[in-house]
């Protein structure tokens, strides 16, 4: 649940996302958008579709992106888990929604995240100078209430060493940080959520999928 005082703080990036053609926004625009995760239809349930929070595969879903809504409208009682992660489709959630971009998952919210790959544009091979990863990109965690006790950071196809500035910032918010490759970050997130832990995840796809275009950059 987001505290009432957070509404104003979220306003700069709590915008409804229009059709994909409108994703190419100025750099000053929001880096976070919320996915509208509607309940599964009766037809899909009748066909035997049943979500499993632990289930995780590399099979791509055929369902495309849906409309996106304002962050304040997300429901904390509707948990999110990841069922698959593929290079071209990105992330598929338990309700069938496909998000072809970096994402942030937290209790009650699923966000498309406009952030570059940690090693893109001149960062060193260990990822210590993650280009574009700054406090502004992680500001959401300042206003979450309650805050997650652990944040899983998925760095793509391989595990990259997170810079100390990011760890210090998140540790200062009382959040433990664990950096993994994205596939392990997804499965660990599902497991911890199923165990009832206050867990969040900030995960980059296994390929360079853009939050602005939904295609490989």
Among 68-77, 165-174, 177-186, the range scoring the smallest mean pLDDT is 68-77
pLDDT digits (tens, 9 = 90+) for 172-189: 999 999 999 999 999 999
Residue 73 is predicted with a pLDDT of 42
User: Strand 176-180 vs strand 150-155: parallel, antiparallel, or unpaired?
Assistant: parallel
The burial of 52, by beta-carbon neighbours within 10 Å (0-12 exposed, 13-18 middle, 19 or more buried), is given as exposed
Q: Has residue 195 got a pLDDT over 80?
A: yes
Provide the residue ranges of all domains of the chain, joining segments of one domain with +: 6-204
pLDDT digits (tens, 9 = 90+) for 43-64: 232 233 333 344 555 444 444 3
Contact predicate 147/129, CB 8 Å: no
Query: Which CATH architecture best describes the domain 6-204?
Result: 3-Layer(aba) Sandwich (3.40)
> Quick one: which H or E segment has residue 111?
strand 109-113
What does pTM read for this prediction?
A: 0.64
Helix ranges (H only) for 122-208 are 140-143, 164-172, 182-194
């Amino acid at each position: 649940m987001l505290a009432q005082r957070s509404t104003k703080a979220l306003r700069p990036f709590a915008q409804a996302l229009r059709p994909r053609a409108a994703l190419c926004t100025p750099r000053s625009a929001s880096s976070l958008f919320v996915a509208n995760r509607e309940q599964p239809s009766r037809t899909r349930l009748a066909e035997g579709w049943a979500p499993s929070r632990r289930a995780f595969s590399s099979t791509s879903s055929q369902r495309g992106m849906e409309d996106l809504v304002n962050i304040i409208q997300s429901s904390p009682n509707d948990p999110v888990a990841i069922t698959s992660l593929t290079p071209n489709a990105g992330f598929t959630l338990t309700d069938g929604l496909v998000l072809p971009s970096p994402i942030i998952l937290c209790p009650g919210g699923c966000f498309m995240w406009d952030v570059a790959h940690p090693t893109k544009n001149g960062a060193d091979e260990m990822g210590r100078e993650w280009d574009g990863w700054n406090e502004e990109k992680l500001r959401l965690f300042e206003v979450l209430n309650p805050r997650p006790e652990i944040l899983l950071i998925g760095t793509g196809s391989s595990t990259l060493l997170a810079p100390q500035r990011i760890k210090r910032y998140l540790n200062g918010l009382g959040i433990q940080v664990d950096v993994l490759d994205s596939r392990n970050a997804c499965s660990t997130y599902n497991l911890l959520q199923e165990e009832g832990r206050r867990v969040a995840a900030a995960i980059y796809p296994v390929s360079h999928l853009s939050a602005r275009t939904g295609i490989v950059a």
